[in-house]
Structure formats: C-alpha cells, structure tokens
Homo-oligomer: A and B are copies of this chain.
Amino acid sequence: MNLPPLVQSFVLHFGEMGSRWGINRTVGQIYALLYVSPRPLCADDIVEALGVSRSNVSMGLRELQAWNLVLLRHIPDDRRDHFTTPDDVWQILRVLAEERKKREVDPTLSVLRELLMQTPGSEEERHAQARMAEMHGLIERLTTWYEDVKRLETERLAALLALGAKVTRLLEAKDKVVGLVRGKRES
C-alpha cells in the first residue's frame, strides 16, 4: 500500500471497521479509497493503491455495486471501467439506510409476519407469539416512519435533524392551538 498518510489512515480505518459494518476489509478499503479520491479510479489503480489481488478488487467492486455505493464512470479514450462514490454524502446516507434495511430488517419482518399467521399449539407458543407481535409492531412503526422521511428532500431532512428534540415543543404548541380552536368552536 502506497498512499499519502492521511488517505492511508482513512483507508486502513475503513478496512478495520468493515467487519463491524457487515463488509470485509478489502471492500471497506476500496470504498474509503474511492470516497476520498479526487478522480474516478480503475481496478488496477485500486490494486496498486491497496496492494491486494486483482480478483479481490473485482469482487469488492462487485459487492459495492450491489450495495449501490459505487458508480461506474467512463473516461474518454480508456476502455477500462472507472469507479467513484456518489459525492453527495446525504445521498450516500440514503443508499446505506435503504440497503441495510433491505438486508438486516426486511427478512426478519417477513419471518415475523409468517410466524404470526400460525396458530399457537401451546401456552408457550402463545406467549412467544405475543412477544413476536410486539417486535413486529415496533419494526413496522420504524419502517413506516423511515419510508416516510426518506422521501423528504435533503433540505427538509436536514431541517428536521437540526430541530432534533425541539420538535416536541412544536408538537405541544400545535396541541395547544388545536385545543384552543376546538374550545372556541364548542363554546
């Protein structure tokens, strides 16, 4: 590996974190490298930069494409494929959320649905099913909320984030106003 120190530290860190994030070291490193690179890189650039085998890079890029985390770019007068990451970090966040949901949540949701359809054959199963229903309910709330906010344009999403817990104050204010209006109408 032969990279500027700053870049190298970043790349190595992503490699180490890879396993915690559900990707392997090479995939993490490739992503990190593309993320900070000022221009699209081809597979051989990556081999050169990271010092891993060509085939490993090929597989890594393939996985990153499955995650929608890298983009294919064509450079004029060069037959080789070149790769970058989307440069809007919000876009990256969206993609990441979507993919993790797809891989980590959706399968469980569908198993839960299936198990909740079945008729329990004992008290123990009845209890288990009640617990599964609780889990299912929570996950469903979370995913519908997610489906909802993911449609927001970035600007609105950012505004919402910035608001943070202050939203509740807004909520209280709303409740008060609504209460007032109702009161008036009913008097």
Residues of A bordering B, CB below 8 Å: 4-7, 9-10, 13, 17, 19-22, 35-38, 89-90, 93, 103-104, 107-108, 111, 115, 118, 120-125, 127-129, 131-132, 134-135, 137-138, 141-142, 144-145, 148-149, 151-152, 156, 158-168, 170-171, 173-174
Contacts and interface: CB of A to CB of B under 8 A. Distances in A.
A142 B124 CA distance: 41
A125 B161 CA distance: 30
Contacts of A131: 35-36
Contact of A128 (B6, B132, B161): B6
Given A21-B104, A128-B7, A131-B35, A165 B142 contact: no
A158 to B, nearest CB: 7
A103 B16 CA distance: 12
Q: Name the residue in A19, A118, A122, A128 with the highest tally of chain B Cβ atoms < 10 Å from its Cβ.
A: A128
State the copy count for this chain.
2
A158 B132 contact: no
A162 B134 contact: no
B22 A128 contact: no
The 8 closest A-B pairs by CB, nearest first: A148-B164, A36-B128, A148-B165, A38-B127, A145-B161, A89-B138, A6-B125, A13-B111
Nearest to A147: B164
B38 A124 contact: yes
Contact of A118 (B6, B121, B164, B168): B6
